[in-house]
Amino acid sequence: MNYIQFFAMRPEVSLLCIYLVIFVYDLISTGHLRRMFHPLVCISTLLLTFLTLTDTSTFTLFGGMYESNAAIVFMKAILAFGTFLTVLQANRWLRSANTSYKQGEFYVLLLSTLVGMYFMLSARHFLLLFIGIELASLPMACLVAFDKYRHNSAEAGIKYILSSMFASALMLYGISFLYGTTGTLYFGDMSALITGQPIEIFALVMFFTGIGFKISLVPFHMWTADSYQGAPTTVTAYLSVISKGAAVFTLFIVLLKVFLPMTSEWQMIIYITTIASITLANLMAMKQQFIKRFMAFSSISQAGYIMLAVIGGSTDGMTAMIYYVLVYMVANMAIFAIIESIEWQIRRAVKRDTLNGFYESNPKLTLIMTLALFSLAGIPPFAGFFSKFFVFMSAFGAGFKVLVFIALINTVISLYYYLLIVKAMYIKSAEQKLPAIKSSRYTLVSLAICIAGIILLGICSSVYGTIGNLGNL
Amino acid sequence: MNMLILFIIIPIVMLPALWACRKEAQVRAVMVTGSTLLLLLSAWLTVDFISCRNAGNNDIMLYTASWPWYEKLNIALSVGVDGISVAMLLLTSVIVFTGVFASWRIRPMAKEFFLWYTLLSVGVYGFFVSTDLFTMFMFYETALIPMYLLIGVWGSGKKEYSAMKLTLMLMGGSAFLLMGILGIYFGSGATTMNIHEIAAMNNIPTATQYIFFPLTFIGFGVLGALFPFHTWSPDGHASAPTSVSMLHAGVLMKLGGYGCFRIAMYLMPQAASDLAWIFIILTTISVVYGALSAISQTDLKYINAYSSVSHCGLVLFAILMMTKTACTGAILQMLSHGLMTALFFAIIGMIYGRTHTRDIKQMRGLMKIMPFLAVGYVIAGLANLGLPGFSGFVAEMTVFAGAFEVNDTFHRTVTIIACTSIVITAVYILRVVGRILYGEPENEEHKKLSDATWDERFTIICLVICVAAIGIAPMWVSSLIADGTGNVLANMFP
C-alpha cells in the first residue's frame, strides 16, 4: 500500500494534526497556558481554513474511494470557517463554571464532527460516506447535551441521538439494498449499474430519509425544534449551519454521482419535500415565542430553499447552493451570536417579547440583528437577496416554475415572521427593558466578520464568480 | 465617469455619513447637502438631456453605460435614461429635497429616520436609472423595505398594522414580479438581462407572454394601487409620517406605473395588447372607486390616499391605451400627481402636527388661524381637481384626449366612465376645503395655533412652484416625455 496517499488528503491531515495538538494541549496546559487555549483554537481553525484551500487540484485516492476537487475543497473551507466562527462565539460560555473544566472536550468533539464532514464531502464509496456521517453525528449528540446539568440540554441530546440513529439505520438499510442490486459500493460503478428498478427506488427513499434528517427537511424535522432549543446556543449555531451545509452538499454529490439514472424519481421526492419544508416550517415559525425555537423553524424553511438549488442538478445549481450556504452561514451566525450574548447576560431563554424595546438599550446590536434577519428574508441589498435570487433562477432554469412560485409566495410569509422580531426590537416598548448587552471581544470579532459578509457577499460579485469557476464536481 | 451612476453613489455615500453623525444638526446638514446635490444633478441632467436631443442625438437611451456584475448570469449594472426616466428623476429629486424639510423636526431618532429614508431613495434612484432586469428588481425591493420601519416606528395611528400590511402586500407583489422577470429572462433565451436587448430581440413566445405578462403587470400594479390590490395604500399613507407619505405617494407609487410600462408592456407587447382589456377594466374601477371612496372619508389623509388610488389608477389606465398621447399623459400624470400629492401630504402633516386631529368634522375656519397652510391646501386641492394653470389639468387633459383616440366602443366607454372621476374629485376636494378652511373657528384650542414655520413654508413654496411651472409651461416637459413614450411604443409595435 502506498502510504504517501494519506498525505495527499491535505485538509483531513491538517485537521487531524490540529485535533491531536489540541487534545494534547488540553492534557498538559495549566495556568497561563490554559488561558491561551481558546486563542490557540481560534487561530488553528482559521489556519485550517487556509490550509484546506491550498490544494485545489482534482484527484482520487485509494482506488477511487476518496476524491478531492476545487468545489469540494471550497466547501470544506466554508465549513472550517464556520467552525472558526463557532469557536469565536463559544468563548464566554466555555469559561463559565459548568463548562470550563471540559473546554478541551468541546474543541475535540467539535473537530471530530468536522473530520466526519470532511469525509462526507470527499467520499466516493458508501462505506466511507457512512463512516463520515456517523463521525459527524455521534460527537454532535455530545455537543447538544454539553450543558448536561441543564435538563433541556440533556433531553435535546437524547432526542438528537435517538432520531439520528434511527435515520442512520434507515440509510444503512437503503445502502444495503443498493449493494444487493449492484454488487458494489463505489459511486462510479454503481451509477452505471443502476437501472431504476423498484427496489432501487426504495433504496433511494431510504437514503434520502437518512440524509433528510441531517438537513432537517419536513417530514424528517421532528427533532429540530427541541434539539435547537435545548442545545447550548453556540452548538445550535453550529448545528444549524455547518452540519446542514455539509449534509446538503453530500446529498447533491450522491444524487448526481449515484442516482443520476433515477433523476426524475429524486426530483419528485425533492419537489414534495421542498414544498412541505418551506410551507410547514413557515407556518410553524409564526407561532414560536422562543427565538431559538423560531430559528429552528426558520432553518428548516431555509433548508427548503437550498433544495431548490439541488433539484435542478446543474452546475449553476451547485454554484447557487454553495453560495447560499455561505450567505446563510454569516446571517445565521450573527443572529446566534447576539442571542448568545443576550442569554449570557439575562440568564434565561430569549423570547420574542424579551426583545421588546431592544433598540433603546442596544442600538448597534439591533441594527446587526435587523440586517441579518433581512438577509435571511432575502431583502436587498444584503447578501440573502442575491443567494435567494440565484437559487430561484437555477430552479426556474431547470423548469420548476410552479415550485419557484410556491417558494416565492413563501418568502412573503417568512418576511412576516422575520419582521415580527424587527417589530419587537424597534417598535414595541418593553415593561422591563433589557440591560445594555456586553458581548465578549471574540463574539464582537465574529459579529464583525458576519456583518461584513452580509453586506459585501452580495455586492462583490467576485465571490459568486469564484464559486462559479470552481468547475463541476 | 457616467453622470447617472452619481444618482446611486451620492445617497450611498450619505448612508455612512449619516451613521457617523452625532448631533441632529449634523444629520440635517448631511441631508440638505446630499439632497441639494441630487436636485442640482437632476436639473443639470434635464437641461443636458434636452440639449442632446436638440443636437440631434436620437438614441433610445442616452448616457448609457454598463458594468458587468454577475457575468455568468448575464447580470450587469446597466444605466441609461430616456425622457421618461429624466422626468421621474427630476420628480424624485424634488420630493426627496422637500421631504427633508418637511421632516425637519422629526423626533425621536432623527438619524435613524434619515438613514432609512436615504436607503429608500437609493432604491428609487437606482430603479429609474437602471436598464437591467436584475438591478431594477433589486432597487425596487430596496425601496420597499425601509417603508416598514419608517411607518412602524415614526408613524401614527394603527401604524404597526398598516406597516405590516403595506410591506407584505408589496412584497407579495414583488414575488409575482420576480416570477415575471425570470419568465422574461428565460423566455427570451437567457442570454441577456438588459431590457433594451430583450426588447430588440422580441423573441418571447406568445404563450409564455400570456403567463408572465399578467404576473409582471400585477406585480408592479400592486405598487401602482391597481384594484383590487390597492388596500395597503390608504392605511399605509394614513399611518406614515409626513415626509414618508410624500415620498411614498409622490414617488414610490410611480415605480409601479413606470415598471408596468417599461418592463411588462415594453418587453411583452403581444400579450400586452391582447390582455390589456382585463387591466383596463380593473384600472377603470380603480379610478372611479378610488374617487367615490374618497367622498365618504372624514380623515384628511384617507381622503388623499383614496384620491391617490384614483389618480394612480388613471396612470395605469392611460398606459394601457397604448397611444402616444395617452402614454405621454400617463407619465405627465405621474409627474403631476407626484408633486400635488406630496404637497397635499406635506400640508396635511403640518395641520395634523398642530391640531392633532385629521378628522374634518373637528376642524373649522383654519383659514383665519393658519392662512399660509390654508392657502397651500387650496392650491393643492385646485391642482388636484384639474384646474387649468396647474399640472393636473395638463396631465388629465392629455390622458383623456389620448384615450379617446382609440376608436372602438369598449375604449370609448371606459374613457367616458373614467372621465366622471374629474367631477367626483371636485366634490371631495371642495367639500373638505369648505368644511375645514372656511367659516368661523369653533374649537378654542385651535385658535391658539400658529402658522407655518420657515422650513414648512419652504417645502410648500418649492412644491407650489413646481406644480405651477408644469401647469403654465407644459410643453418642454411634455415633449421631453413624448420622446421617451414614442420610442417605447415604436419598439413595441414596429
Q: What is the pLDDT of residues A210-231, one digit of tens each?
A: 999 989 998 888 899 999 999 9
Confidence category of residue B434, pLDDT binned at 50, 70, 90: confident
Q: Does residue A461 sit at the B interface (CB-CB below 8 Å)? A: yes
**3-class secondary structure for A45-73?**
HHHHHHHHHCCCCCEEEHHHCEEECHHHH
Q: What is the pLDDT of residues B449-491, one digit of tens each?
A: 777 778 888 888 888 888 888 888 888 888 888 888 888 888 8
Q: What is the pLDDT of residues B40-89, one digit of tens each?
A: 999 999 888 888 888 877 777 888 888 888 888 888 888 988 888 999 99
Report which listed range, A52-56, A351-355, A384-388, B483-487, is most confident: A384-388
**Average pLDDT of chain A?**
90
Pick the residue from chain B with its C-alpha nearest to A409.
Answer: B175
Report the range of poorest mean pLDDT among A184-188, A429-433, B13-17, B388-392.
A429-433
Residue A44: alpha-carbon gap to chain centroid: 20
Q: Does residue A319 sit at the B interface (CB-CB below 8 Å)? A: yes
- For range B366-380, the mean pLDDT: 84
Q: Which of B334, B383, B268, B338 is nearest to B484 (CA)?
A: B334
Contacts A316 to B, Cβ<8 Å: 72
Looking at chain A, the whole-number percentage of residues with pLDDT higher than 70 is: 99
Q: Does residue A460 sit at the B interface (CB-CB below 8 Å)? A: no
- For range B25-31, the mean pLDDT: 88
Looking at chain B, the whole-number percentage of residues with pLDDT higher than 90 is: 18
Residue B106: alpha-carbon gap to chain centroid: 23
Looking at chain A, the whole-number percentage of residues with pLDDT higher than 90 is: 57
Q: Does residue A466 sit at the B interface (CB-CB below 8 Å)? A: no
Contact B72 A468 (CB under 8 A): yes
Q: Which of B250, B325, B304, B314 is nearest to B481 (CA)?
A: B325
Q: Does residue B365 sit at the A interface (CB-CB below 8 Å)? A: no
> In what helix (H) or strand (E) does residue B68 lie, and over which residues does it extend?
strand B62-70
Q: What is the pLDDT of residues A314-352, one digit of tens each?
A: 888 899 999 999 999 999 999 999 999 998 888 888 888
Report the range of poorest mean pLDDT among A21-25, A39-43, B386-390, B444-448.
B444-448
Pick the residue from chain A with its C-alpha nearest to B171.
Answer: A412
Q: What pLDDT score does B397 carry?
A: 87
Q: What pLDDT score does B441 carry?
A: 76
Contacts B72 to A, Cβ<8 Å: 316, 319, 464-465, 468
CA distance A400 to A398: 6
Q: What pLDDT score does A396 carry?
A: 92
Q: What is the pLDDT of residues B182-219, one digit of tens each?
A: 999 998 887 888 888 888 888 888 898 999 999 999 99
Task: Spell out the domain ranges in chain B.
Answer: 5-489
From start to end of B207-363, where are the E strands? none
- For range A459-464, the mean pLDDT: 87
- For range A61-74, the mean pLDDT: 89
Nine-digit cell string for A212: 433528510
- For range B268-283, the mean pLDDT: 89
Q: What pLDDT score does A106 carry?
A: 92
Q: What pLDDT score does A452 carry?
A: 93
- For range A63-73, the mean pLDDT: 89
**Contact yes or no for B161/B235 (Cβ under 8 A):** yes
Model confidence at B5: pLDDT above 70: yes
Q: What is the pLDDT of residues A230-243, one digit of tens each?
A: 999 999 999 999 99
Q: How many CA atoms lie within 13 A of A179 on its CB side?
A: 11
The radius of gyration computed from the CA coordinates of chain A, to the nearest angstrom, equals 21
Contact A404 B149 (CB under 8 A): no
Model confidence at B257: pLDDT above 80: yes
Q: What is the pLDDT of residues A109-140, one digit of tens each?
A: 999 999 999 999 999 999 999 999 999 999 99
Contact B138 A380 (CB under 8 A): yes
Please tell me which residue, B131 or B1, carries the higher pLDDT value. B131
Q: How many CA atoms lie within 13 A of A293 on its CB side?
A: 16
- Long-range contacts of range A36-44, CB-CB < 8 Å, 24 or more positions apart? A37/A103, A37/A104, A38/A87, A38/A91, A38/A94, A38/A95, A38/A103, A38/A442, A41/A87, A41/A107, A42/A84, A42/A87, A42/A88, A42/A442, A44/A18
Nine-digit cell string for A29: 496546559
Contact B160 A427 (CB under 8 A): yes
Model confidence at B366: pLDDT above 80: no
CA distance A467 to A317: 11
CA distance A196 to A191: 10
CA distance A261 to A283: 35
Contact A408 B153 (CB under 8 A): no
Contact B171 A427 (CB under 8 A): no
Model confidence at B350: pLDDT above 90: no
- For range A154-176, the mean pLDDT: 91
Q: Does residue B141 sit at the A interface (CB-CB below 8 Å)? A: yes
Alpha-carbon torsion angle A405, A407, A409, A412, nearest 10: -150
Distances, alpha carbon B195 to alpha carbons A374, B57, B264, B267, in Å: 28, 20, 10, 7
Task: Spell out the domain ranges in chain A.
Answer: 4-468
- For range A195-211, the mean pLDDT: 91
- For range B333-360, the mean pLDDT: 87
ipTM of predicted complex: 0.91
- For range A354-363, the mean pLDDT: 85
Nine-digit cell string for A240: 444549524
Please tell me which residue, A395 or B494, carries the higher pLDDT value. A395
Distances, alpha carbon A129 to alpha carbons A82, A185, B92, B180, B391, in Å: 21, 10, 58, 41, 72
Contact B178 A379 (CB under 8 A): no
Contact A392 B182 (CB under 8 A): yes
- For range B294-302, the mean pLDDT: 87
Q: Does residue A416 sit at the B interface (CB-CB below 8 Å)? A: yes
Distances, alpha carbon A116 to alpha carbons A134, A140, A300, in Å: 7, 10, 22
Contact A393 B69 (CB under 8 A): no
Model confidence at B446: pLDDT above 80: no
CA distance A430 to A356: 5
Q: What pLDDT score does A315 carry?
A: 84
- For range B238-257, the mean pLDDT: 87
Model confidence at A471: pLDDT above 80: no
Model confidence at B157: pLDDT above 90: no
**Residue with grid cell 447557487, as numbered in its chain:** A320
Q: Does residue A452 sit at the B interface (CB-CB below 8 Å)? A: no
Q: What pLDDT score does A473 carry?
A: 64
Q: Does residue B15 sit at the A interface (CB-CB below 8 Å)? A: no
- Where does A183-197 have alpha helices with state H? 187-193
Number of H helices, E strands in chain B: 23, 2
Q: What pLDDT score does A24 carry?
A: 92
Q: Which of the 8 DSSP states describes residue B79?
A: E
Q: What pLDDT score does A448 carry?
A: 94
